[in-house]
Structure 1
Amino acid sequence: MSTFLPKDVEDGLRDAIIANQRRTSRLRVEVNGQSYAVLRMWRNGFSVAAVDAPRLRGLVDIFEGANHLSQALVVASEAAGDEMHYEFKRSTLASDKAPVDFARDPNAPAGLLPRL
């Protein structure tokens, strides 16, 4: 039995794998109002389908569904097959609370109750 596949079958399989990754990925990167599905993410970068993504550079927002995960400064690293890899220069986790410039007392009351 031969393990050789014709070029068009190989290309079709690769395209189907990329399409499936795009469809099932909840992660996305957003820049200038455009959104791109993230195929893979690692500690210091991520990858996007090469046919979708331009050479991103600068500030991007990373979302998981509707949740804002982080804001990052990225640079296009390399094209690896059908994926474009990007590296973080800086990545800051998003927070739903404003930062404070003082230390909070862990035993402080959560609120005040009115006198009746």
Structure 2
Amino acid sequence: MTGFLPKEVLDGLNAARKRDMKRRARRRVHVGENVYPILDYADEGFAVDAENAPNLRGLVDIYDGPQHLYQALIVASARDGDLMRYEYKRNTPAVHHAPVDFERTDTSPIALLTQG
């Protein structure tokens, strides 16, 4: 079907598709101070716009809006048309509290009563 369309129309359709993907993208990858929208996300990796993003690698943070989801170690996988695909070497869910260095028991008191 696309063989019958002029090149200008195909370029316009591809630009509109890319613009729509960027508009719908909620997830973002943070590399230092730079932020890039994630256009395609899967369990084994993600893809960003190949024109605007440099060749990313190393430790990155992945956010869904303002919520920190993952801290990941990534490596460039392949270029897929207008997208650059990255695979996870390590993908760790973000935690919002520090780990405890002791065992919490279920029998611990809720409150302490004092004599008074």
Q: Same fold (TM over 0.5)?
A: yes
Q: State the SS of the aligned residue for 1:35.
A: strand
Greater mean deviation of Cα atoms: 56-65 or 5-14: 5-14
Deviation at 1:105, TM superposition (A): 2.1
Matches within 5 A, 1:66-81: 66-81=66-81
Which residues of structure 1 form unaligned runs of 5+? Answer: none
Give distance in 2, aligned partners of 1:29 and 1:107. 42
TM-score, length of structure 1 as denominator length:
0.88
Give distance in 1, aligned partners of 2:6 and 2:91. 42
What's the Cα RMSD here? 2.1
Deviation at 1:44, TM superposition (A): 1.1
Deviations 1:51-75 (A, max 9, x none): 1111101000000000000100001
Deviation at 1:108, TM superposition (A): 3.4
Q: State the SS of the aligned residue for 1:23.
A: helix
Deviation at 1:11, TM superposition (A): 1.2
Deviation at 1:113, TM superposition (A): 4.9
Aligned to 1:112: 111
The count of corresponding residues between Structure 1 and Structure 2 is 115
Indicate whether 1:18 and 2:46 are aligned.
no
User: Structure 1 residues 112, 83: closer, same or farther in 2, change over 3 A?
Assistant: same
Deviations 1:27-64 (A, max 9, x none): 00010210000011111100001111111010000000
Aligned to 1:84: 84
Q: State the SS of the aligned residue for 1:52.
A: coil
Runs of 4+ with >6 A deviation:
none
